[in-house]
Structure 1
């Protein structure tokens, strides 16, 4: 059962309370249990300030997308989108899809969702040769649960394995989703984005 389904399951919540009580008996020197990949991504992504909406089917994806537009008053706005499939899927919301980054938000897929740091892995397949700072400050990313990977290196291997004719260039990650957050040394120079993740269950 995926994390997202477990979170909606009342029995799971009660089982988790019992498990935590049992774990507390082991003491602080007991080896930590390895988190499932979906749980690790959720924790790190939320810690980075990202906002994700879990959806079991495309109907729920479209409803969640509509709620994002409503929350931000993004109807009748320019949307930067370079993916024809997404343009077709999200047509019907009275949006103006353009191929210039001078837009209210950027609608895009991704290469992978990286669990160990809660990052979104992107390449020239999604952003061409543009730098993150050249893109809109608001992102809406469409991804599936099968795109979850443990690490960036695993994501890079997947890109290489899926690229039969050429390996995409301009590979980068984005993991800073809080504009107001004070930057530490590791995030210095990174480009902050207000990011929503539409996550479709496909496993």
Structure 2
């Protein structure tokens, strides 16, 4: 999906392309492709996005995030055993203990294009509320997890888990931490979020 690279300006050559700057200036409509729709809305929500062609790029980006935030040698909150195994060679401790953890590392269920939100469930966060987690999230997802609407995502969850539908299904939509609360943010939980998006299509 070269669109993601072009839209977010993730290579020097594409950064110099004026078309990539123009791309983000218009609002999406009903004819906007699903990948572009997600990219626009996710960016508008304040999310930080890193497109990766392969796992080597994922590992490099993960390392860069750790260095940028001085999270090396820290305890990183993480529930998922697959992530713990895949990222075991980094200078962090991936642990179910969130005491003083600066960051939560997880996957998600789906990426919802029409809102730029991430759909998650008890598969990722157990029965905890988003407010129980650190302000910083690193989320690993794949391009095949893109859906247009939350309804499509909910149907996908039912299909993936036919015998036991996960509980505690919610979305993360606000990716800018603000100290000032108003009625528009009431009941929502903002997270400073890095999305590592792996191409798998």
**TM value normalised by structure 1:** 0.85
- The one of 30, 34, 55 equivalent to 2:31 is 34
Cα contact 1:53–1:199 (8 A) shared by 2: yes
- Cα displacement string for residues 93-117 of structure 1 (whole angstroms, at most 9, x for unaligned residues): 1111211222121110000001111
Report deviation, 1:182.
Answer: 5.4
Question: Is 90-99 or 127-136 further displaced after alignment?
Answer: 90-99
Aligned to 1:136: 134
* Alignment coverage as a number of residue pairs: 189
Paired with 1:15 and 1:100, the residues of 2 have a C-alpha distance of 45
What CA distance in whole angstroms lies between the structure 1 residues aligned with 2:190 and 2:175?
Answer: 5
Unaligned runs of 5+ in 2: 24-28
CA distance in 1 between counterparts of 2:153 and 2:95 reads 29
Q: Structure 1 177/5 Cα, relative in aligned 2: closer, same or farther at 3 Å?
A: closer
CA contact (8 A) 1:101 1:134 kept: no
2:79–2:124 CA contact under 8 A, matched in 1 = yes
RMSD: 2.3
Q: Per-residue CA shift, 1:150-177, capped at 9, x if unaligned?
A: 1111100000011122000000001111
Which protein shows a greater Rg?
1
Q: Which one of 70, 74, 97 corresponds to residue 73 of structure 1?
A: 70
CA offsets 1:30-57 (integer angstroms, 9 cap, x no match): xx66111111111111111110100000
Asked whether the 8 Å contact 2:5–2:51 carries over to 1, the reply is no
Q: What SS does the corresponding residue of 1:130 show, helix, strand or coil?
A: coil
SS of equivalent residue, structure 2 residue 49: strand
How far apart are residue 92 of structure 1 and its match? 1.3
* TM value normalised by structure 2: 0.85
Q: Do the aligned partners of 1:48 and 1:177 also contact (CA within 8 Å) in 2? A: yes
Q: Does the CA contact (< 8 Å) of 2:4 and 2:39 recur in 1?
A: no
